[in-house]
Chain A
Amino acid sequence: MSKILIVAEVKNGEIKKNTLELLSFSKTQGIETGVVLIGSEVTELADILAGQGASKVYLADDSSLEIYNTEQYTALVTDALQQSESNQVWLSSSELGRDLCPRLAARHGVGALSDVTQLEVNGDQVTAQRPCMSTKIIQKCQFSKDGLRVITIRSGFFNAEETTPVSANIVSLSIPAGHAKLKVKEVKVEVSDEVELNEASIIVSAGRGVGGAEGCDFVKPLANDLGAAFGASRAVCDAGWLPHKHQVGQTGTMVTPDFYFAMGISGAIQHLAGMSGSKVIVAVNKDPDAPIFKVADYGIVGDLFKAVPVFREEVSKIKD
């Protein structure tokens, strides 16, 4: 019998969308799924996970766990794995997941499949698809030996359904010590109420075509109108028009929103690799030959400085 353990991620006191997606997907597979919930002051979130179908919630709630660290998380997930007797562990393909997955797999003496975009689970047999070579190639792969299956899954490929919380079946984990040789000195959170790129279902992005920081300010209100995250191409960030946290692309944030609006983005390969998994792409660019139009579902050949105000006006009309 297969059993799955999902590593939950929390941000600002809420379960992240990518965790809910994993739970929704596991439910469709009809496999018993537990969740390991780690953090500081996170106990009350256990019921939400139970509502999403978690059979048990393995809980580690401690002030030392506010910030992710490899050592404690690896020990906690290992503990939860042993208690739950799970033979699969699913993580999100976030920075947390990317750091934890290989360490965890190695500790259990097994391999891992990372950054998976499609998953087929057939008992112990797990087959996955994942992009490689800058998303130019998709590989289909599987685990070739017996043992624990450790997998990180990209967000945005399954739909998280809304559920009501139910009382969780909680198993408390004992808190292990951190790594003796590694200490978190501080955490520099860039305080912002903006929607985060990797969480957003709508993204509006600005490219070199905006011409400068003022151009970014011109496009940004559209993102606010749509409740969208505000992204940018590498050119925009490298030029200092926007901070690098806005950068969409292979070296920035890989995104897969439902709707992606590319404003004045020509579509360099790194950018396309980072956003071409979006469900629907809308592009505005003056150059009809821009590569972005190759991936756009709706391409507007025109001036973004004329198009953005029309978008805003039409959107506000619809809202009214």
Chain B
Amino acid sequence: MEIIVPIKQVPDVALNIKVKDGAVIEEGLSYVISSWDETALEAALQITEDIGGEVTLLTIGPEKAAESLRKGLAMGAHKAIHVKYYDAKQTDSFAYAKILQKVLEGREYDLILAGRQSQDTDAGLTAPMLAEFLDLPQVTNIIRFSNVSNQNMTLYRKGDHATEVLEMELPGVVTVHDTLNEPRLASMRGIMMAKKKPLEEIELEAIGITSEMSGLEGSMTEVLHYDKPESRKEGKNFEGDEKDTVKQALDLLISEAKFLV
């Protein structure tokens, strides 16, 4: 099984993120592989360990994105493709999906396994858009795989009201929910070997991506500005005997907040 895992290097959202004048402050951000993508990579590694094959990581990003590829290689991916992209700001999911389409055209693969969304935009658009551009079936939000072979697989999708069990003929596009697995940590040997694994570098021009197809020009949507969410107004705290505090809180809940029992 040849699996492509598209990954994105994103700011670590577990850390504090600050904005100033409508933009996110770059200073102090730490960059990591989007955690949903790590789940996809772990799933891909488990599949190839099970039935054989190779996992190829694919990222579109600046020089420093290569670090995320090497981390993914250290976890166990077999090779990586780095599409050099210096103007990542103001690139929307549509433009990313178009570039991914160009990279993947003419390549051999059975499965594209992606995170359900990326940790920076939380948009969840790129993978299904890519599926459409490549004319492949898609199954999103997977919580389990079974009967995986080189021709097809059974996928358990978390739908709105039920778990939907689908059978997909390959090739196809699958996005994973993060309850699927616990991504492995890189081992010392993995970290060391990662440097020796093939890392293909591609310039945008080489795959026919012109300036009109990238950045703001290639995007269909744009971000006007970033802001901190409005903080909630200060709440009221009650301390003391629960018999009194619950009553006090409930009274206000009904009188102020119009809570109807």
Residues of chain A at the chain B interface (Cβ within 8 Å) = 9, 11, 67-68, 70-71, 94-96, 98-99, 101-103, 105-107, 110-115, 127, 130-145, 147, 179-190, 196, 198, 226, 244, 251, 259, 269, 276, 279-282, 288, 293-303, 306-307, 310-311, 314-315, 318-319
Contacts and interface: CB of A to CB of B under 8 A. Distances in A.
Interface stretch (B51-59, B78-86, B202-210, B253-261): B253-261
A137 to B, nearest CB: 5
B122 A133 contact: yes
A140 B241 CA distance: 45
B167 interface: yes
Contacts of A288: 237, 239
Contacts of B172: 181-182
B131 A103 contact: yes
A232 B146 CA distance: 28
Interface in B126-175: 126-133, 137-141, 154, 157-169, 172
Interface in B214-259: 216, 219-229, 232-233, 235-243, 245-247, 249-250, 252-254, 257, 259
Contact of B220 (A143, A179, A188): A143
B198 to A, nearest CB: 30
A115 B122 contact: yes
B24 interface: yes
A11 B125 contact: no
B224 to A, nearest CB: 5
A136 B243 CA distance: 36
Contact of A300 (B141, B158, B233, B238): B238
A318 B137 CA distance: 54
B19 interface: yes
Given A103-B132, A106-B94, A107-B132, A190 B220 contact: no
A287 B237 CA distance: 12
A207 to B, nearest CB: 17
